Amino acid sequence: MIVLFKNACEAKIQCREFIGKIELATRRKWNASKIAAILAGITMVEFFFAENHNGHDQKDNPNSNTLAVGEQLAKRIETGTTKDFTMPPPRWSLSANVWLSLIVTVLISCSSSNTKNNDQTTIIRVDISKSQVLDISERAVINKFILLETGKDFLISSIDKIQVMDSVIFIYDERQDLMFLFDKEGQFITNVGVKGRGPGEYSMINDVYIDDSEGVIYAHERIRNTIQAYDLSGSLINEVHTRHRFNSFCITNSGYWTYSCFVTENPNRYNLKLLDHDLNKMLGGFFSQNEFFPTIFMSTFFQDQSRNTYFCYPHSNYIYLLDDQTQTPIPHFKVDFGSRTIPYSLVAEMTDRLEYENRIYERDYLGDLNNFFFCENYFGFTFSGMARRSIRYYAWHDIESAITQVFDGVAVFKKSSSNPFEDLTFIHPIGVYNDELIYYVFPADMNANDLKTLEELSENADENSNPVLFFVRLN
């Protein structure tokens, strides 16, 4: 019995080596201690039957070793190939093999349900009474920074959308209605498109979508109901006109998903419309309401690192995953502010703007979800009070632990070996690239010491230079 117990304990220790693989692969709702207990129990069953039925220790036999089975299972889970997993031939009694098969089946079933999770909505509970100051330097390091080249024809006033691709960096400056391309070293390549009122030109951009897999930049101009497509040399390659009006859009295999908030070609007042790839036929309409109240003009679509597309609109606290298979939006996250959650179901029924303002703006509700990002295990966004929007909160939701942290301010990024600057403040990321958060700082906003450091590190840098991009990797 002592030998049996010792062998089981040794096996339990070895189990821990691949428990991490299983937990990392599934990423959600796996409890390592429970897995350890189950696997240790299986191992004890194996040793019991091995000692009693075969008279020797079978842990060196890969065909009947539970640890080997576990390693195989971990690899299958990691690669998503658990459906054809079969148990090795038993070297013990039938009852033990049946028991082990049952537990393996449960593990496979759990992994499948946890990774899909399409029919479940994650509740993000937000409590601003526990808000704190965000010190990003405690959880991240600056991996690199890039000073964007400066020139009179490509001065940047703001960065409202950024996309880092294999060879270029795309930047959309909403204040100037300009789009730029830089190389990965920050050297200017070209402007995208031509601003003007002539053929093939644009006068005002409402939203931009980048298909980095195809190397195409799509720009939407609401005034002319036009989508213009550009290649990575900045040249116009296509222009499509539509009778449908919308503020923002994204493109998936299903077609063009658009945030409408207009009644033109939209008698049912859908907030979300799916149009075909010719921008002609409406394939679906979602989230109807009686009246469109104050709308937003910034993008309401965003993507994660796997290029899954999400949607959120002003009159909802849900973040929807746009599913190409069903061509429908699926509730993915629900942001719960408790008693301060806007009564969205009532808003959808309202027809009087004054009623809307009295109910929403004169009460202490929280909403205005915006600036979404996915990075590592985090899902981040901003929100504010609806009555007074002076305070902007930042929420970081840990998808794995289901813990949400709320911040009402940011601390200075501490100087370190990875950060030669002494007074950088990163407010909220403007993008994500290869699991790195992207922030930007204008040299004009740096203090004298940091500006001097920048001038020493980057040739031709001064206070009038274009912004510096900082790529920050989470610990």
Structure confidence at residue 469 (pLDDT): 97
**Mean per-residue pLDDT of the chain:** 81
User: What is the model's pLDDT at position 387?
Assistant: 77
User: Taking every pair of C-alpha atoms in the chain, what is the biggest distance, in angstroms?
Assistant: 89
Reading phi first (left if > 0) and then psi (alpha if -120 to 50, else beta), residue 94 is in: alpha
**Could you tell me if 261 and 245 are in contact, meaning their C-beta atoms sit under 8 angstroms apart?**
no
Contact 439, 472 (CB under 8 A): yes
Lowest mean pLDDT among 95-109, 150-164, 178-192: 95-109
By mean pLDDT, which of 1-5, 127-131, 158-162, 212-216 is the weakest? 1-5
| Eight-class DSSP state of 269 | -
Alpha-carbon distances of 276 from 34, 69, 167, 261, rounded to whole Å = 48, 48, 30, 18
- Is 237 in contact with 215 (CB distance < 8 Å)? no
Angle at 341 between CA 339 and CA 344, to 5 degrees: 130
- CA separation for the pair 155, 410 (Å, rounded): 28
Phi and psi for 130 in degrees, rounded to 5?
Answer: -105, 15
The predicted model scores a pTM of 0.75
CA 367, 173, 424, 401 torsion: positive or negative? positive
Q: What gap in Å lies between CA 344 and CA 296, rounded to an integer?
A: 16
| Ranges of each domain in the chain | 2-116, 130-160+242-474
Residue 153 has pLDDT above 70, yes or no: yes
Please say if the pLDDT value at position 316 is more than 70. Answer: yes
Considering only 14-18, 238-242, 407-411, 413-417, which range has the smallest mean pLDDT? 14-18
Determine the average pLDDT of the residues in 106-117: 40
Measure the CA–CA gap between 442 and 462, rounded to whole angstroms.
Answer: 10
Please report, as a single letter, which amino acid is at residue 58.
Q
Query: What's the pLDDT at 389?
Result: 60
Distance CA 161, CA 336 (A): 27
How much is the CA Rg of the chain, to the nearest whole Å? 27
Within 13 Å, how many C-alpha atoms sit on residue 95's CB side? 4
- How, if at all, do strands 140-147 and 431-433 pair? unpaired
Give the list of residues 6+ apart from residue 103 with CB closer than 8 angstroms, or none: 38, 42
Where does the pLDDT of residue 307 fall: very low under 50, low under 70, confident under 90, or very high at 90 and above? very high
Which three-class secondary structure state does DSSP give residue 127?
A: coil
Return the pLDDT at 83. Answer: 45
8-state DSSP, 424:
B
- Residue carrying structure tokens 């945030």: 259
**Each residue of 205-244: b (16+ CB within 10 Å) or e?**
bbbbbbeeeeebbbbbbbeebbbbbbebebebeeeeebeb
Model pLDDT, residue 32: 42
C-alpha 209/C-alpha 17 separation (Å) is 43
Tokens matching residue 300: 């309401």
Report how far residue 56's alpha carbon sits from residue 461's, in angstroms, rounded to the nearest whole number. 74
Q: How confident is the model at residue 365 (pLDDT cuts 50, 70, 90)?
A: very high
CA distance 137 to 410: 10
Beta-carbon count within 10 A of 280 CB: 12
